[in-house]
Amino acid sequence: MIDPASALRLDGRVALVTGATRGIGRAIAESFAAAGAGVCVLARKPDELAETADVLRTIGGPVGTIAGSAGDPHVIGAAVDKCTDEMGGLDILVNNAATNPTFGPMIETEPSAVRKVLEVNVEGALQLSQRAWSAWMRDHGGVIVNVASLGGVRPSPFIGIYNASKAALLHMTRQLALELAPAVRVNAVAPGLVKTHFARALWESDEEGIARRHPLRRIGTADDIAAAVLYLASDASSWVTGATLVLDGGMSLV
């Protein structure tokens, strides 16, 4: 029988969350800290990392920070070493960091923008997973959760290369789930429109009108996504791997 009081707890575990100083990543880091995990945060801006670390310490549990890009192999190595050497392990990896430096038709996307999107959204997630596996999870087990997008499931205007990168991330999720089982579970979430700074171009011009088009009549929040990621990272989902949870307020129904 599942104990509701402990099913979503992460006591004694160490999690690495990329892009965790804002939006969805920040909400995930805070939910992990509240569930008892030590949290290591990888993000680009030192001032935002310092502020995030202060907040996480007030919630509880050890905190570590690494400044740099989630697409940089040297930063990736430093982040994994920080978790394993200084925080005692790497039980949970959340590949949340993403970039989208272009907006418009995919057919017009500059090659440099394509390379940047794939470097962070696909290559970075794979390299982090590889390093986490070799440094810790192969011997100790673990969980990987990839934050993709509804755009990886179906196309949408103006962010085509971003959508393509998220489709690749969803397939990577299934591939790694097959390869790393049973030691490591690998799952993904595919958020629809979430009210974050990163997605502001998609909602700020008509927030109320866009909310009405959702069957649940609201745009998503970062906490909506964090709750699902906490489930996938916890023992409550111990028989789930290779899955993608679509979190979109019902928009894929219409």
Mean pLDDT, residues 54-69: 96
Q: Which of 17-26, 107-116, 179-188, 200-209 has the lowest mean pLDDT?
A: 200-209
Q: What is the pLDDT of residue 203?
A: 57
Question: Which ranges of 119-239 would DSSP assign to H, the alpha helix?
Answer: 125-132, 138-140, 160-180, 200-203, 207-212, 222-233
201 pLDDT band (50/70/90 cuts)? low
Who has greater pLDDT, 210 or 238?
238
Give the pLDDT confidence of 155-191 residue by residue, as tens digits: 988 999 999 999 999 999 999 999 999 999 999 999 9
Q: What is the pLDDT of residue 26?
A: 98
Q: What is the pLDDT of residue 8?
A: 97
Mean pLDDT, residues 122-137: 98
Q: What ranges do the domains of the chain cover? A: 14-239
* 248 in Cβ contact with 190 (< 8 Å): yes
What are 30's two structure tokens?
A: 């805070």
Mean pLDDT, residues 71-87: 97
Q: What is the mean pLDDT of the chain?
A: 94
Residues labelled catalytic: 162
Q: Which of 61-65, 123-127, 192-196, 238-242 has the lowest mean pLDDT?
A: 192-196
Read off φ and ψ for residue 142, nearest 5 degrees: 165, -170
Cα 99–Cα 101–Cα 105 angle in degrees, nearest 5:
115
Mean pLDDT, residues 59-66: 95
DSSP 184: E
Q: For residue 202, is pLDDT > 70?
A: no
**H or E element: which one contains 251?**
none
CA 50 to chain centre: 20
For residue 149, which amino acid is it?
S
Mean pLDDT, residues 246-253: 94
Q: What is the pLDDT of residue 184?
A: 98
Bridge-based pairing of strands 142-147 and 14-18 is unpaired
* 220 in Cβ contact with 194 (< 8 Å): yes
Mean pLDDT, residues 111-126: 97
Domain 14-239, CATH 3.40.50.720 — does that match?
yes
3-state helix, strand, coil in the chain (%, to 5): 50, 15, 35
Mean pLDDT, residues 142-149: 98
Residue percentage of the chain with pLDDT more than 90: 85
